[in-house]
Amino acid sequence: MLRTVPLDPKKNYIFGVHPHGIISLSVQANFCNNFAGMSEHFPGLDYRLCTLDTNFNLPFVRDWLVSLGVISASRAAITSAVKKGKSVMIVVGGAAEALEAVPGTETRLVLGKRKGFVRLALSLGADLVPVYCFGENELFSQVINPEGSRLRKLQEWGKKTFGFSIPIFYGRGVFNHDVGMMPRRVPLTTVVGKPLGAPHIPEPTDKDVDKWHGAYLDALKAVFEQHKELAGVKENALRILGLDDEIDAASPEEEEKKTKKGKEEKESKKDS
């Protein structure tokens, strides 16, 4: 674990953790126990990791999660924790991002349109802190599931129906390196970024949320770019899915059509 700056334990923070990976092993190793020295890096910081509400409905899993201090990722649970003086960690990409976890390729984060955590942080007065886990997507492979494929449609249906995705993944075995359910032996480097200095806005507007969401994306990209070489990631790019200039990038011809259409709409409004 790398700490960029010390954090004041008297303040509240909402940590956005990326990427989700297949089963977020970096998050479990770093924040569910003291495996990477979290308490030494941030002494006095009282925090809770968030997970899907549905996980608390699974037999024995609920007891295990509670024993680790994990809470629901619901707005009510997070609000309650922050008001009690605790910080929370949210794996923002969630189930949708698990389907994008492919080793050896660009890191695809489902983050462009996810702004609820920003709105919540502003309304509660909790500062935003970006966290990036290098190596998380390298732990497992999954059966190829491009957008529009039958497998992806089935997985997305499962996500909408049950609340969690079901990636078909594999790692290594006990006596082999190719097939098995164990994670691969790869270096994991978690970088905890600098707090954004977000203000307390009890009732943030959409404009406020967009502003600080943009600031968060810039801070996360900076964490990635500044530490990727140290973490052994040189070529892989970071891609934010859901942004107009990223996943929905249009061709010059399409952009020209959009611009022309926008001008026509403005002119028609003026005439009316």
Q: Give the model's confidence band at 247: pLDDT under 50 very low, under 70 low, under 90 confident, else very high.
A: very low
Three-state SS for 192? Answer: strand
The Cα 167–Cα 95 span in angstroms is: 9
The Cα 49–Cα 71 span in angstroms is: 6
Percent of the chain with pLDDT over 90: 62
The Cα 226–Cα 240 span in angstroms is: 17
Q: Give the bridge partners for 90, in sequence order.
A: 16
Segment 2-26 shows an average pLDDT of 95
Segment 10-22 shows an average pLDDT of 96
Residue 79 has pLDDT above 50, yes or no: yes
The Cα 251–Cα 141 span in angstroms is: 32
Residue 255 has pLDDT above 50, yes or no: no
pLDDT at res. 232: 80
Q: Angle at the Cα of 224 (from 182 to 143), degrees rounded to 5?
A: 35
The Cα 213–Cα 204 span in angstroms is: 12
Q: Give the model's confidence band at 259: pLDDT under 50 very low, under 70 low, under 90 confident, else very high.
A: very low
List, for residues 166-212, the tens digit of each pLDDT value: 899 999 998 888 889 999 999 999 999 999 999 999 999 999 999 99
Residues 89/15, Cβ–Cβ less than 8 Å: yes
List, for residues 35-77, the tens digit of each pLDDT value: 888 889 999 999 999 998 888 988 898 999 998 889 999 999 9
Structure-block tokens of residue 16:
């956005």
Structure-block tokens of residue 8:
């004041």
pTM reported for the whole predicted model:
0.84
pLDDT at res. 184: 93
Segment 105-110 shows an average pLDDT of 92
The Cα 168–Cα 203 span in angstroms is: 41
Mean pLDDT of the chain: 87
Provide the residue type at 272 as one letter.
S
The Cα 115–Cα 72 span in angstroms is: 18
Q: Give the bridge partners for 87, in sequence order.
A: 47
Higher pLDDT, residue 248 or 128: 128
pLDDT at res. 162: 82
The Cα 212–Cα 126 span in angstroms is: 12
Residue 148 has pLDDT above 80, yes or no: yes
> Which of 209-218, 233-242, 260-269 is predicted with the least confidence, judged by mean pLDDT?
260-269
- Which of 193, 177, 194 is closest to 185 using CA atoms? 177
pLDDT at res. 264: 56
Question: Where along the chain do its domains lie?
Answer: 2-241
Which one of 3.30.460, 3.30.70, 3.40.1130, 1.20.1300 gives the CATH number of domain 2-241?
Answer: 3.40.1130
